Amino acid sequence: MMNIMIYEDNRECIGNLQGILREYFEERSIMFSMFITKLGAFCDFDSGNNTDMVFIDIDGEEGDAINFARRIRQNNKNAIIFLLTDKLQIIPEMMKVGIFQVILKPIDADLVYDELDRAVQLYADIYSIYDISWCGVNHLLNYKDIFYIEAYNRHLYIVTGEDSYMSMGSIHKEKERFGGRSFARCHCGFLVNMQYITECGSNYVKMSNGKEIPISRQYRDEFMNSFTKYLKTLNSFLKFPCEGES
């Protein structure tokens, strides 16, 4: 269930957005709940703890919207925040809070659909569960916690920041299973999570745990294209520190 919060400053604008969101999620059979309130109003969802996707509509005081977005980000690092505005001057300050995307008014339904596609994929990356079965024991991992998968002699070694797990399978099938997420194949024996790449050379990547993984000639172009696309997406969701954080 995806929890959507809309903070409205213009009822007509939000009525239009509400219709677009409902149509989008119902067409894709995605379960969702939607709650709408006035910008700055106090309610149970104000902290953002239970909210997956947030839409902040700005027509009035810009400072209220910035402080409100900052409050949500401080309480929920993973909230996907959209800004609805025609006030271009507010965008730099809102980017510091870590918004996902700006939607300019008047709202274009096709553009909103495109951005929702990206947002839903990001949501899946954050919360999807990866099930590993080995010797009668099942391990449930978040996709986002997996650093890389290595294939060797019909076995898969799934490495996280804390542990490593073994399973039977092939990199080819795992790539299909991970399709659309932040994983890319850089070698016949490796599938890497691009979130944890700290260094990328012409023939290797270094992961945040220090592991160097080769980029083979066969997969170089495919991997570099995937990594470039990933970086472009990442730049729209940078999590800048909020005031008071170090």
Cα dihedral across residues 138, 143, 54, 48: positive or negative: positive
Distance, in Å, from the CA atom of 201 to the CA atom of 224, rounded to the nearest integer, reads 10
Q: Residue 38, SS3?
A: strand
User: What pLDDT shows up at residue 242?
Assistant: 38
Q: Both tokens of residue 92?
A: 């730099």
Enter the tokens of residue 110.
Answer: 């096709």
pLDDT value of position 244: 41
**CA 216 to chain CA mean position, Å:** 28
Tokens read off for 167: 């399973």
- DSSP letters, 116-144, are HHHHHHHHHHHH-EEEEEETTEEEEEEGG
Structure tokens given for 30: 């995605």
Residue-level pLDDT at 182: 84
Q: What contacts 100, CB < 8 A, 6 or more positions away?
A: 80, 81, 82, 115, 119, 122, 236, 237
- Report residue 196 as tokens: 């944890």
Predicted confidence at residue 217, as pLDDT, reads 95
> Which is nearest to 55 in space by CA: 88, 93, 26, 15?
15
CA distance 151 to 219: 15
Of 74, 178, 78, 194, the C-alpha closest to 127 is 78
Q: Is the pTM for the entire model greater than 0.85?
A: no
Q: Are 35 and 65 in contact (CB under 8 A)?
A: no
Residue 122 pLDDT: 82
| β-strand partners of 80 | 53
Q: What is the pLDDT of residue 82?
A: 92
**Residue 63: per-residue pLDDT:** 64
pLDDT-flagged residues of the chain (< 70): 9-10, 39-49, 59-63, 179-180, 233-246
